[in-house]
Amino acid sequence: MTIRLFQDPSFTGARTVITGVGAAEDLVDAADLKDFNGGRKPSSLRTSSGDAALLCSKPDWKGEIMYLRNQRNIRDLGDPATGGRRGFRNAVRSVRVRPFLIAMNITIVTGSDGTLPGGWEDRTQAERDMDLLIVLMNDFFRRERCLIRVKWSDITYRPSEEYFNVSIREYRPVPAKWKKPKSVDVVLVNRIANAIGVGSFPWHGKHVLVAMERMAAALERAPGTGPGTIYRPGNPLREVRDPRLVDAFLGISRTWVHELGHYWGLRHQDPITQDTIDAVARINPSLAAAMRTSDSNIMIQSGKAGPFSVATMTSSQLNEVHQVLARNLSRKGDRQETIPDGLV
C-alpha cells in the first residue's frame, strides 16, 4: 500500500508519501509525521489497493484513529461525507502499516489430578495444538487486513476443579496471580455450561474463557493424523487429515477470535437472513435491494455463524478494535509496537 498525504484538501499542497509494499522488513511506519518531509498536518489522502493503514492523531500510533483498507481517496479528512472523520482534519500525526503484536498470557486449567482439558494427553500435545490455533487466528487477521497479530507469551498449567468445568456461564473473576501485565489473559478450560467461550462486552482489560471440549470429541486420532506434524504457513491444516480434528481446530480458533473481539469492545452481530432483508424492504426498498444474506461476520454467535474459513470483520469493527488499543482504556501495554517479521 502506498499512502499519499496532502497538506490541503482535494489532494493539493505539500505531500508526504509512505510506502508499505513488499517484504515485511520494507514496510515503513511514521511514528511522527514531523520527521517526514512534505505535508506534516495532512488534510486529504490517497491510498493504493493492498493492505491496511492506521491514521492516528498522536505520535506513536495513539490518540484518535482512522482505520483504512483497500484503495481510498479522501478529499477532506475532517468530512465524513468524503470518507473522513469529523474533527480529524489536520490531526494526523502518525501512520502505521505494520501490524501490532498482542501477547497472550495463557492459563490452561487442569483437574486436581492434572487431567488436561479437551482430552489432551500431555503438555507437548497441548502446546503443539496451541501453536496451530494461533496460526489459524493470525491467518484470519491477515486475511481481514487487521493490523493485529497474536502470540502466546506464557503458558501456565493451573489445577482448579472450579474452572476445569465452569458451571455457570456468567463472567467470574480469576485469581489475580493468573494474570500478567501487558498481555491479554486467556483461560482455557475443559467445558463451560451452555457456552463455548465467554468474553462478553465490555470486558476490555479483564480476561476471556475458551472451552476446549470440542477437541476431546476429535482426539480419536489415527497414527499420523494428529498435530505432531509441521504446519506450513498458508495451509496450516494440510497435515491434519481427520476432518473431525480440522473442524475442532477451526471451531476453537473462531471462538477464540470472537471472544477477543468482545475483549476489544465488539458487540454481537446478527446474521443477515432473508427475513432481515424482507423487513428492511418494507421500510427502505432501495437499501434492501443491495443487501445479501450473510452469516460470515466473526461477531455472530457460533450457533448462527458460518465457518471460520470465510469469517469476516467489517471496516467499522476494525476501526473500533484499533481505537480501543490506541486509547488503552482499561490496561496499559496490551498492544506492542515491535512485531517479528515472520508474523507480518
> How would you write the pLDDT of the chain (344 residues) with one tens digit per residue?
788 899 899 999 988 888 765 555 567 788 998 887 766 789 999 998 878 999 999 999 999 999 999 899 999 999 999 889 888 888 899 999 999 999 999 999 999 999 999 888 889 889 988 988 999 999 999 999 999 999 999 999 999 998 999 887 666 778 889 999 888 999 999 998 878 888 755 555 578 899 998 877 665 543 444 444 433 444 566 556 566 677 888 899 999 999 999 988 898 888 887 888 888 888 888 887 887 777 899 999 888 888 898 899 999 999 999 998 888 655 567 888 888 888 88
* Domain boundaries along the sequence of the chain: 2-96, 100-266+328-343, 268-313
Segment (H or E) for 150: strand 148-159
- Say if residues 199 and 174 touch (Cβ distance below 8 Å): no
The Cα 335–Cα 296 span in angstroms is: 26
The Cα 285–Cα 268 span in angstroms is: 26
Which amino acid type is present at position 30?
A
Tally of CB atoms within 10 A around 84: 21
Backbone angles phi, psi at 214, to 5 degrees: -65, -25
The Cα 66–Cα 100 span in angstroms is: 15
The helix/strand/coil state of 294 is strand
Q: Which residues have a Cβ under 8 Å from the Cβ of 265 and sit 6 or more positions away?
A: 201, 202, 204, 320, 321, 324
213 grid coordinates: 471440549
The Cα 22–Cα 55 span in angstroms is: 20
Residue 1 DSSP symbol: -
Regarding pTM above 0.95, the answer is no
160, β-bridge pairs: none
Second-level CATH architecture of 100-266+328-343: 3-Layer(aba) Sandwich (3.40)
The Cα 9–Cα 61 span in angstroms is: 23
The Cα 99–Cα 138 span in angstroms is: 11
7 grid coordinates: 497538506
Residues counted in the chain = 344
H helical segments located in 85-200: 123-143, 161-164
**Of 133, 145, 150, 132, residue with least CA distance to 264:** 150
The helix/strand/coil state of 216 is helix
21 grid coordinates: 509494499
204, β-bridge pairs: none
Instruction: Determine the Cα angle at 174 with ends 160 and 331, to 5°.
Output: 150
Segment (H or E) for 15: strand 12-19
The helix/strand/coil state of 287 is helix
Query: Which superfamily, per CATH, for 2-96?
Result: Crystallins (2.60.20.10)
